Structure 1
Amino acid sequence: MPSIKLREDENFIALLDIFPNTKGQAIVFPKKHYESNIANLDNDIISNLMIASNKVINLLRKGLNVDRVGIIIEGMQVNHIHVRLYPFFGSIGFENGIDAGPKADVLELQKLADEILHSTNR
């Protein structure tokens, strides 16, 4: 499946969600496999996942000019711990819920990633 990377370091990857229900919806996950049930994970893993997620939140806030980004650790669908990030535009929060949206066009996602990353490099 195609993916558009927003951020990567030695331990984590952040991608724009290929099935977004809001512009800029992203997923952050560790490169190493950890089960999706956060209650069974070491505090260090959880802390590092939150730090990595916060870096992506800051990219989204600046790149999309939003004040808030919602964060969900759902532990569903895929048995690999991951965080979903939902930028809030104006009064729009989770009005669309957390269900997947329609499949996004990869070229449009790349354009969006370029806009986000370009604005954060200023």
Structure 2
Amino acid sequence: MASIFTKIINREIPGHIVAEDDNYIAFLDISPLVHGHVLVVPKKEVDYMYDLDDETLGGLHVFAKKVARAIERVIPCRRIGVAVIGIEVPHTHIHLVPLNSMDDINFTRPKLHSSEEELRSMAEKIRECM
């Protein structure tokens, strides 16, 4: 069965996409740790990051860097934190999280609940900076 990320990639379900090319896609996390939390995903559905071929793995990180730079232009933060957990969705993904403190990337804290309009607006701002 296709992962929820593959369903976003295939436009079977909506996602707030901020960047996309032939091999990768980035979209807002709908339950973010902080505003501007983005997921970067290879379009190839592979569960575990280190099962990706070297070219896809390297390309994923280069694509994530471009997205991180755009997030930095939109969200005031000290830097963009990077997390790879990969337990909750069986599709490789990188979390890009705007950081002002270590607690901003604490996945045990309550998630934010943003309105569709807030998500749409944030995605548009990041897209404009790509």
Q: Report the TM-score, using the length of structure 2 for normalisation.
A: 0.78
Equivalent residue pairs, number: 117
Q: Unpaired segments of 5 or more residues in structure 2?
A: 1-12
Deviation at 1:86, TM superposition (A): 0.5
CA distance in 1, matches of 2:83, 2:51: 17
Q: Provide the residue aligned with 2:10 in structure 1.
A: none
Cα 1:95/1:114, change in 2 over 3 Å: closer
2:116 paired with 1:106? yes
Q: Which residue of 2 aligns with 1:17?
A: 29
Offset from partner CA, 1:38-91 (integer Å, 9 cap, x none) = 2333222211110111111011011223341011111211111011111013xx
| 1:96 positional shift | 5.5
Partner of 2:4: none
TM-score by length of 1: 0.83
Deviation at 1:95, TM superposition (A): 4.3
Q: Cα distance 1:110–1:75, how it changes in 2: closer, same or farther (>3 A)?
A: same
1:83 counterpart residue number = 94
Q: Distance in 1 between matches of 2:105 and 2:62?
A: 26
Judge which range, 20-29 or 1-10, deviates more. 1-10
**Which runs of no fewer than 5 residues in structure 1 stay unpaired?**
none
Q: How many percent identity over aligned positions?
A: 27
Distance 1:20 1:78, change over 3 A: same
Q: Write the letter of the residue equivalent to 1:41.
A: L
Task: Choose the corresponding residue for 2:40, options 28, 47, 51.
Answer: 28
For 2:55, give the aligned amino acid: D
